[in-house]
Amino acid sequence: MLLTSLSLLPAEAPAEYGDVVLNRFAEKEGMRPVIFPHWFHRIRFRCKVCHFELGFKMRAGANQIKMNDIIDGRFCGMCHDGETAWSVENCDLCHSGKAGLPPGIFGGHETLGPGRW
């Protein structure tokens, strides 16, 4: 389903660098918001791996990512499978945001990483 036009979140900082908070579903479903350290990933992988091959839209808050997709090996689950990177069982490494964080870009020129926000 494509809901890009419903994204209410203007970009505030150059996201290739800071951390992205993903919280469309997590907190509503009783999990802490997800912190995605964009900078950490972009120095390891090419943009097109995520923004073309894995289908992540280049807009904070624009992606509808569900945990089942990840467990099925899509989105974050393409790499967080226990081989390329640690597996989905490590809930707290992704769900590390403080309560109430809205989706969006946080931080500046480098990743401050899980647990910072």
The least distance separating ligand HEC from the CB of residue 98, rounded to whole angstroms, comes to: 14
* Site residues, ligand HEC (CB under 6 A): 11, 15-16, 20, 22-26, 29, 31, 34-38, 40-42, 44-45, 47, 49-51, 54, 56, 58-63, 65-68, 70, 75-76, 78-80, 84-86, 88-91, 93-95, 103, 105, 113-114
Type of residue found at 15: A
Q: How far apart are CA 79 and CA 43, in angstroms?
A: 15
The residues with which 21 forms a beta bridge, in sequence order, are 35, 104
Q: How far is the CB of 1 from ligand HEC (least distance, A)?
A: 14
Q: How far is the CB of 79 from ligand HEC (least distance, A)?
A: 3
> Concatenated DSSP letters for 3-20?
-GGG------S-TTTSEE
Q: Toward ligand HEC, which CB reaches closer, 93 or 117?
A: 93
Question: What are the strands, taking DSSP E only, across 1-117?
Answer: 19-22, 34-37, 104-106
